[in-house]
Structure 1
Amino acid sequence: MKFSFSTLLFLSLALTPLSLLANTFSISKQTPSSAFKINTNASDLCTVATNTLDYLSKGQEYDPAVIHANKLSEFGISQSDITNTLMSLCEFAKADVKNNTTRLADINFLKQHYDFYKISSDIAHAKALSEKKPLLKNLTSEKVLMTKYYVHLASGSEQRNNEHAFPLYALPFDEQDLSIEQADKHKNKLTRFKYGKQTILSGVLDQQNLAEPLIFLTREDLESALLQGTIVVDVAGKQRVYNVHRNNGIAYDRTLKPYEQNRYWYFKQVNGILGYGKDANHKIAVLPEVTFAGDLYQLGLGALVFAQFDFKNHSEYRMAVMADTGGAFEDNLYQLDYLAGSYPGIKAYYDANRHMPDYIDAWFMVLKGDTK
């Protein structure tokens, strides 16, 4: 889950305190042009859609924070619309494989079966944060700011050494047998809620034997893990994937630089890249280039985004599911974060993605009523 997988944009942004501004986010039915090709892996899109549906099937009582249509319902899009849309993707994708067709890559087919709602960004909030931030300053209401995130590849050690001196901790011992609901009832007693990141880095967990180090990393790799929520670590030639488990209850402070934060995540070893989930045992497995992170708390989990990527030499459409979020997306209706892939660092990421646009035209795709 990109639960604190704060975007690259916010690595250097400091938040100006917001005044009480009217929310200017809106969507309206507007069909995209047929001029550009669709470049989306339908099988991967179906996989993320299916994984998201599995989470949605747990019901609103399980996770009312994101299983809803909330802001979208104001414009006529319901929770069942989101679910039906995701279900239809896989039905069409499976039929395409069976019949050797590519209908999900046909814009005219999509227009026949889906309504498109063009996103108009919450420009008022974006402008309130725009001082010394050119990407926000240049954002227009008709575009959505698109940042990119990636899964960090790192080397690590099972033992602390001079190079790998910073542990990635498992959930503290006093909470390992508790569900998240049980843990929430005992916040005042649990180790997880007692310490901020700066205190943890001073060694308090080791000194009092409060939590197990899963792996030892460099400080840079540790910060990347905390920021992005997932890290792939090479240990003696074998890769392990670690994902956020539960945090210490301290909010990400956008007035502080990442290294200065007190928000802290405990991790667990997992089998793949994971997106949103309120607890580590029930998270959505996601894939690059078909996953967006965004403000799930206002927009809800699972909305299907249809986006126009304008490159220097051409434009194309891509589709992705909103299956992730992060601290940077709280009260943020002007930005989406695109899961770009896995890279060993910021330079490798940048070299591979420097051609990607910073702004996109974006629509929510919704299955038409007569198609359901």
Structure 2
Amino acid sequence: MMKLSTLLPFTLLVAFNTVANVATNPIYQLEVEPAIGKMVTPSTAELCSVAKGTADYLALGEDYDPGIITAGMTAQFGGDLERVKRTLNFICQVQQEDELSGSPSRLMDAEFIAQHFDVIRWMPDKKQAQGFAKNKPLLKNIPDDQILLTKYYIKLAKGSAKKTAETPYALYALPNDEKGLTLEQGNADQNLTRHKLTKQDVLTGILDKDNLAEPMVWLSRYDLEDSLMQGTVKVDIAADHDNGVTNQFFNVHRNNGIGYQRNLKKEQQRRYWYFKKTDSVMGYGKDASYKIPVYPLVTVAGDLAHLGLGKLIMLTHNGESRLTVLADTGGAFENNQYQLDYLGGYFKNWDDYINTYRTFPDYFEARILLLKDK
């Protein structure tokens, strides 16, 4: 259990707040003596890459993506948006300096972390979690002082350039009647194909029958459902005859506007995503035209509306800590301040994923780091 003596009393937190009229939230508390332990971040170079991509997205400004490009919960600790960006830029500065000098990464030094960052301990909002805890032991059993850390992954699938008996379901590009429209234009016109069809409608083949959208690759039903759930898929595409196999990334583009239902199985979800070809794994972006490139093991997804995009988050379990960047989200994170999703790697199916993460803990201490003001 945490030492409550290391946390500033809530009354002192109010005094610490330097932003006028910002509501405080007791699940976040400034930690004076953070228990960091041993740093085990898998790759500081890839951490830097995610940090840079996220800082570049934040630099687009609050008007570009209102409600997401914000200071988020750190505003109550004086963490304005500029301070969030400085935190991300500092991560890359340190990583690059150490790489050039051939020195061990200072980002793997717990004393360096404690010296340069204000540490905000995040306790789970268990009241929120209990609203979805029926038949879900992981939510029911969330500890008082640790968040739930679920995992998501980059789906590996085998597909075909044409429809076959083994691959009868397509990943579709944005429907033809929406090509060339901005996200705002597409959302404003409710008569567009995207807004009219549920996932179950699409599975009947209506898009092909009426030539409404381009099928980009054909998958099995299992791989389709997994791709819709995970958001990014890398497909080995079998071409015609002896042309071999090509690899292609696909990432979610726009959906039909139906919300994700946390109490339904993935096959029962009515939300449907149209996809876009990409060159790498992509995280958050309000539309496919600009998304953040991400890497496994240093990226987390969460509630961007509350936490704010780009938070540097340290996850700790049994005295080992890893740094991650909040650079993605998902339908399960609407009004969710008890959970993060850890980008765990590349997997073909749930069995591969479970075998890899069988002993990986479900709950972690979570700390949000802000670069100290000089």
Give the aligned partner of residue 114 of structure 2. 111
Quick check: 1:163 aligned with 2:171? no
Is the Cα contact below 8 Å between 2:172 and 2:214 reproduced in 1?
A: yes
Residues 1:329 and 2:333 aligned together: yes
Name the structure 2 match of 1:27: 29
Deviation at 1:32, TM superposition (A): 2.5
Equivalent residues, number:
343
The letter for the 2-side match of 1:158 is A
| Structure 1 residue aligned with 2:64 | 62
Alignment of 1:304-315 (within 5 A): 304-310=312-318, 315=319
In structure 1, the residue matched to 2:307 is 299
Task: State how far apart, in whole Å, the 2-side matches of 1:286 and 1:129 are.
Answer: 29
CA contact (8 A) 1:31 1:117 kept: no
Shift of residue 34, structure 1, vs aligned partner? 5.0
CA distance in 2, matches of 1:251, 1:115: 36
Q: Give CA deviations for 1:261-288 in whole Å, capped at 9, x if unaligned.
A: 1111000111010000011010000000
Query: Structure 2: how far apart are the matches of 1:83 and 1:39?
Result: 20
Cα distance in 1 between the residues matched to 2:323 and 2:146: 16
Q: Could you tell me how far apart the structure 1 residues matched to 2:211 and 2:86 are? A: 49
Distance 1:37 1:72, change over 3 A: closer
Q: Tell me, what secondary structure is at the counterpart of 1:139?
A: coil
User: 1:26, 1:122 within 8 Å by CA — same for their partners in 2?
Assistant: no
CA distance in 1, matches of 2:32, 2:338: 18
Task: Name the CA distance, whole Å, in 2 between partners of 1:181 and 1:60.
Answer: 16
Matched to 1:179, the amino acid is: T
Quick check: 211-220 or 91-100, which moved more? 91-100
Q: Distance in 1 between matches of 2:203 and 2:136?
A: 30
Question: What is residue 227 of structure 1 aligned with on the other side?
Answer: 229
CA deviation profile, 1:55-87 (whole Å, cap 9, x unmatched): 111110000121002333134322122111001
Tell whether the 8 Å contact from 1:305 to 1:321 is kept in structure 2 after alignment: yes
**Structure 1 letter corresponding to 2:69:** I
- The amino acid that maps onto 2:339 is Q
What does residue range 218-367 of structure 1 map to in structure 2 within 5 Å?
A: 218-236=220-238, 237-310=245-318, 315-367=319-371
Segment drifting more, 233-242 vs 157-166: 233-242
Residue of 148, 152, 165 corresponding to 1:149: 152
Letter in 1 for 2:194: R
2:48 to 46, 49, 66: 46
Distance 2:167 2:211 in 1: 19
- Counterpart code for 1:151: I
Kindly state the Cα deviation for residue 92 of structure 1 after the two structures are TM-superposed.
0.7
Per-residue CA deviations over 1:318-358 (Å, capped at 9, x if unaligned) read: 00000000001101000011001001111111111112110
Cα distance in 1 for partners of 2:222, 2:34 equals 42
User: Which of 79, 82, 86 is the equivalent residue of 2:81?
Assistant: 79
Residue 199 of structure 1 pairs with residue 207 of structure 2: no
CA contact (8 A) 2:28 2:120 kept: no
Q: Is the 8 A contact 1:40 1:105 kept in 2?
A: no
Stretch moving more, 70-79 or 105-114? 70-79
Q: CA deviation at 1:183?
A: 1.6
In 2: Cα distance, 1:39 partner to 1:203 partner: 45
Question: 1: CA distance between counterparts of 2:26 and 2:148?
Answer: 15
Contact 1:247 1:266 in 2 (8 A): yes
In structure 1, the partner of 2:13 is none
Question: CA distance change for structure 1 residues 355 and 177 in 2, over 3 Å: closer, same or farther?
Answer: same
Secondary structure of 1:71's partner?
Answer: helix
Q: SS of the residue aligned with 1:255?
A: coil
- Please, which runs of 5 or more residues in structure 1 have no aligned partner? 1-22
C-alpha deviation, 1:177, in angstroms: 1.1
Query: Displacement of 1:127 after TM fit?
Result: 2.3
| Secondary structure of 1:74's aligned partner | helix
Q: Would the alpha carbon gap of residues 181 and 131 (structure 1) be closer, same or farther in structure 2, given more than 3 Å must change?
A: closer
Q: Which residue of 1 aligns with 2:96?
A: 94
* Larger RCO, structure (CA 8 Å, separation 6 or more): 1
Q: Give 1:106's aligned amino acid.
A: D
Deviations 1:17-49 (CA, angstroms, capped at 9, x unpaired): xxxxxx863333243235423333111100000
User: Do the aligned partners of residues 158 and 77 (structure 1) sit closer, same or farther apart at CA in structure 2, a change above 3 Å counting?
Assistant: same
Q: Distance in 1 between matches of 2:182 and 2:363?
A: 40
Aligned partners of 1:336 and 1:271: how far apart in 2? 26
Q: Which runs of 5+ in 2 are unaligned?
A: 1-24, 239-244
Q: Which position in structure 1 is the counterpart of 2:17?
A: none
Contact 1:31 1:115 in 2 (8 A): no
- Name the CA distance, whole Å, in 2 between partners of 1:363 and 1:334: 13
Secondary structure of the equivalent of 1:355? Answer: coil
2:76 aligned partner, one-letter code: E
2:314 maps to a residue whose letter is F
